[in-house]
Amino acid sequence: MNNNNIRNFSIIAHIDHGKSTLADRLLEYTGALTAREMQSQFLDKMDLERERGITIKAQTVRLNYEADDGTVYVLNLIDTPGHVDFTYEVSRSLAACEGGLLVVDASQGVEAQTLANVYLALDNDLEVFPVLNKIDLPAAEPERVKQEIEEIIGIDAHDAVLASAKEGIGTREILEEIVKKIPPPAGDPAAPLKALLFDSWYDQYQGVIILVRIFDGTLKKGDKILLHSTGRAYEALKVGVFAPSMIEVPQLSAGEVGFVIAGIKEVADARVGDTVTLFHNRCATPLAGFKEVKPMVFSGLYPIDTSQYEQLRDALAKLKLNDSSFSYEPETSVALGFGFRCGFLGLLHMEIIQERLEREFSLDLITTAPTVVYKIHKTDGELLEIESASRMPEPQYIDTIEEPFILAHIHVPNDFVGGVLALCEEKRGMQREIKYLTPTRVMVVYELPLNEIVLDFYDRLKSLTKGYASLDYEHLDFRPSDLVRMNILINGEVVDALSLIVHRDKAYFRGRDLVSKMKELIPRQMFEVAIQAAIGNKVIARETVKALRKDVLAKCYGGDISRKRKLLEKQKEGKKRMKNVGNVELPQEAFLAILKVED
Ligand SMILES: Nc1nc2c(ncn2[C@@H]2O[C@H](COP(=O)(O)OP(=O)(O)OP(=O)(O)O)[C@@H](O)[C@H]2O)c(=O)[nH]1
């Protein structure tokens, strides 16, 4: 294929600005999809994604487009995930393209995510051009947003395409821009194979499918390929493209994008960012940028019904097949029994996995509050990395503790700046910068401990700014902090799954609020329940749940039977998420009470 007729591009956008809708329009316009197939967005293929309206796994499609100049171009649309948790995947997807469409909602303007992703694109030397979407909305202000793009991002926006992905306005103009503005790929088809693995997933029938962008050389069916980071070789059993359904092709050569199926057993062996070459004709230097992504947020997952343990283990193994950034290991809790400590890239990733376990595998789980990794330097010189408060050694064995810090970029309308600053300060943040992007939009940059972010930072930020703030963050480093382990005791017994690591200065208030929150959440039982927060042997807060026989039918006067049944049903439902700890029944909410505590 003539490289001059190929364009490889991504769509860069903030969540909800219309990336998927626009992608569907491009597919529809170029005839890759009929209107009927479009019925639901094609690119977001998992149910869960569709429901939550977010893109998790990158997907790529080949489109054929006959341009105004009469030439038929091959356009490879490389989809990127749109959330902070998946930044590394975004950056690898972008590395597979020469250009990016920057989609900005004309009624919203530039958001934190837009900026983060544009910078990733510019770092990858992509040609970026803006598209203003949702111009059908009465609130659209294309002129203001153009100016914002020029001032904040620093790219020319005066002739930005005005589009409505919803109504199909501007689609052809966008395709023309892609052809005219994005350079064709370079690369030598005769050189040794050098390809970027930019996505991989596990398919029940075909095994691991990898997506590659060929930079040099040619990859044919039957070739023996080599994955650079693992040094393992595989036979390329199938080579093809998504158009949008899978079509086999005889070969992929420099500049092209496509899939390879090579009998790879699990995605952990086919990591995003790796270089693919030929076993017998290797490229001299691999592509830059292969990085192991490490989980940063952890939580315990326990089956409510202990007989579901094996099922949970199998489900985790299945999910892991498809997601190498997720980790798990067995963990036992005195309170909750046998379960797993799981690691995630971030909070969204955690929610997605938890939801999939419950929905796709019908498991009823108790999840513990999220934590981060701490580095503990012990007095005997040993360095421990712990991701659970219950593994923290006694204070006398600890020399110093380090916790992870992040750099947060928050975009917010100036009316809310005061509140955002107060929140960041409360969360032990250190201000780096406050910058007026426009007269009404402000960028607040803070260094913050990740520990505070995983609790309730995002929810608080959203509610305090009426949903107008956007957040993006990157990991910085580990820093020494004065942290202590706080235990929660129920009727005098430490409940290990409720222990948490907090900053010493905040321990007292956190403890007091936590026990009072738990008092509201723990239902009255046949006996009194004492809830205490303690640091070491010192109790810092206490509340008591009074004893009461809970007779849900008392209010019904024996009258309406259907109402009575409803109440019983409701009580049964409520029971499902309970876990017996000693002889006290604790609801799921009690394990997450820390997330509901306002400082
Ligand atoms: N009025 C209007 N609504 C649109 C337009 N384009 C998209 N939307 C709506 O905006 C919402 C978000 O669109 P998506 O395409 O799912 O957004 P996205 O950017 O793909 O979101 P992620 O997958 O999370 O990155 C949906 O409810 C769309 O129907 C448009 O041109 N006009």
Residues 119, 211, 129: CA angle, nearest 5 degrees: 30
User: Given pLDDT bands bounded at 50, 70 and 90, which one contains residue 574?
Assistant: very low
* Residue % of the chain over a pLDDT of 70: 88
127: CB partners within 8 A, 6+ apart: 98, 99, 100, 181, 182, 183
Question: Ligand 1, from 25, 166, 169, 352: best to mutate by most atoms within 8 Å of Cβ?
Answer: 166
278: CB partners within 8 A, 6+ apart: 192, 193, 217, 219, 223, 224, 225, 226
Q: What is the pLDDT of residues 554-573, one digit of tens each?
A: 554 444 555 555 555 555 55
Q: Are 319 and 326 in contact (CB under 8 A)?
A: yes
How many other C-beta atoms lie within 10 A of the C-beta of residue 394? 8
Binding residues for GTP: 16-21, 133-136
**pLDDT at residue 236 in the model:** 96
Look at residues 217, 216, 254, 220 and name the one whose alpha carbon lies nearest to residue 237. 220
Q: Which tokens in the block code for residue 379?
A: 């007095």
* Ligand 1, atom 23: closest residue by C-alpha: 54
Q: Is 165 in the pocket of ligand 1 (CB under 6 A)?
A: yes
Residues 461, 586, 487: CA angle, nearest 5 degrees: 70
pLDDT at 372 over 70: yes
Question: Ligand 1, from 20, 28, 161: best to mutate by most atoms within 8 Å of Cβ?
Answer: 20
- Exposure class string for 292-318: b at 16+ Cβ within 10 A, else e: ebebbbbbbbbbbeeebbeebbebbeb
* Ligand 1, atom 12: closest residue by C-alpha: 16
User: Given pLDDT bands bounded at 50, 70 and 90, which one contains residue 520?
Assistant: confident
First-to-last alpha carbon distance for the chain, in angstroms, is 62
Q: Rounded CA gap, 62 and 72, in Å?
A: 13
In ligand 1, which atom is closest to the CA atom of 164?
Answer: 31
Q: What is the pLDDT of residues 524-554, one digit of tens each?
A: 888 888 999 999 889 999 999 888 755 555 5
Q: What is the pLDDT of residues 427-459, one digit of tens each?
A: 999 999 999 887 888 999 999 999 888 877 888
In ligand 1, which atom is closest to the CA atom of 103?
Answer: 19
Q: What is the 3-state secondary structure (H, E, C) of 468-490?
A: CCEEEEEEEEEEEECEEEEEEEE
pLDDT at 151 over 90: no
* Ligand 1, atom 14: closest residue by C-alpha: 18
Residue 98 alpha carbon to ligand 1 centre in Å: 24
Q: Is 55 in the pocket of ligand 1 (CB under 6 A)?
A: yes
Question: Ligand 1, from 15, 16, 145: best to mutate by most atoms within 8 Å of Cβ?
Answer: 16
Look at residues 439, 443, 441 and name the one whose alpha carbon lies nearest to residue 431. 443
Residue 41 alpha carbon to ligand 1 centre in Å: 10
Residue 148 alpha carbon to ligand 1 centre in Å: 20
* Ligand 1, atom 11: closest residue by C-alpha: 16
Binding residues: 16-21, 133-136
Q: Is 15 in the pocket of ligand 1 (CB under 6 A)?
A: yes
Residue 164 alpha carbon to ligand 1 centre in Å: 10
Residue 463 alpha carbon to ligand 1 centre in Å: 22
**pLDDT at residue 575 in the model:** 47
Residue 22 alpha carbon to ligand 1 centre in Å: 8
Q: What is the pLDDT of residues 15-70, one digit of tens each?
A: 788 988 898 899 889 986 655 455 555 555 555 444 444 443 446 889 999 999 99
For the CA atoms of 575, 580, 581, 586, what is the dihedral angle to 10 degrees? 0
Average pLDDT value for residue range 272-296: 86
Identity of the amino acid at 338? F
Average pLDDT value for residue range 79-88: 70
**pLDDT at residue 346 in the model:** 81
Q: Is 164 in the pocket of ligand 1 (CB under 6 A)?
A: yes
Q: What is the 3-state secondary structure (H, E, C) of 5-62?
A: HEEEEEEEECCCCCHHHHHHHHHHHCCCCCHHHHCCCCCCCCHHHHHHCCCCCCCEEE
Q: What is the pTM of this model?
A: 0.74
Q: Which tokens in the block code for residue 205?
A: 């029938």
Q: What is the pLDDT of residues 161-192, one digit of tens each?
A: 999 999 999 999 999 999 999 999 999 999 99
Average pLDDT value for residue range 284-290: 82
What φ, ψ does residue 526 adopt, rounded to 5°?
-70, -10
229: CB partners within 8 A, 6+ apart: 271, 274, 275, 290
Q: What SS3 state is found at 591?
A: helix
Q: Are 215 and 254 in contact (CB under 8 A)?
A: yes
* Ligand 1, atom 4: closest residue by C-alpha: 166
Q: Is 19 in the pocket of ligand 1 (CB under 6 A)?
A: yes
Q: Are 499 and 390 in contact (CB under 8 A)?
A: yes
97-106, 194-203, 229-238, range with the lowest pLDDT? 194-203
In ligand 1, which atom is closest to the CA atom of 137?
Answer: 1
Residues 193, 294, 203: CA angle, nearest 5 degrees: 55
Q: Is 137 in the pocket of ligand 1 (CB under 6 A)?
A: yes
**pLDDT at residue 469 in the model:** 85
Angle subtended by helix axes 112-123 and 87-95, to nearest 10:
40
Q: Rounded CA gap, 247 and 563, in Å?
A: 58
Q: What is the pLDDT of residues 245-260, one digit of tens each?
A: 788 999 999 999 999 9
In ligand 1, which atom is closest to the CA atom of 21?
Answer: 15
In ligand 1, which atom is closest to the CA atom of 13?
Answer: 19
Q: Is 20 in the pocket of ligand 1 (CB under 6 A)?
A: yes
31-45, 394-408, 503-517, range with the lowest pLDDT? 31-45
**pLDDT at residue 465 in the model:** 87
More reliable by pLDDT, 570 or 498: 498
**pLDDT at residue 47 in the model:** 54
Q: Rounded CA gap, 475 and 360, in Å?
A: 32
Q: What is the DSSP string of 427-463?
A: TT-EEEEEEESSSSEEEEEEEEEHHHIIIIIHHHHHH
Identity of the amino acid at 162? L
User: Given pLDDT bands bounded at 50, 70 and 90, which one contains residue 82?
Assistant: low
Residue 51 alpha carbon to ligand 1 centre in Å: 13
What φ, ψ does residue 521 adopt, rounded to 5°?
-90, -25
Q: Is 166 in the pocket of ligand 1 (CB under 6 A)?
A: yes
Q: Is 53 in the pocket of ligand 1 (CB under 6 A)?
A: yes
In ligand 1, which atom is closest to the CA atom of 55?
Answer: 23
Question: Ligand 1, from 10, 21, 167: best to mutate by most atoms within 8 Å of Cβ?
Answer: 21
Residue 134 alpha carbon to ligand 1 centre in Å: 8
Distances (CA, A) of 8 to 87, 97, 184, 471, 578: 20, 5, 8, 29, 52
151 burial (CB, 10 Å; 0-12 / 13-18 / 19+) is: middle
In ligand 1, which atom is closest to the CA atom of 167?
Answer: 31
pLDDT at 196 over 70: yes
Residue 536 alpha carbon to ligand 1 centre in Å: 51
Could you tell me what percentage of the chain is helix, strand and coil, using 3-state DSSP and rounding each to the nearest 5?
A: 30, 35, 35
Q: What is the mean pLDDT of the chain?
A: 85
Residues 561, 566, 570: CA angle, nearest 5 degrees: 150
pLDDT at 596 over 80: no
Peptide bond just before 587 cis, omega within 30 deg: no
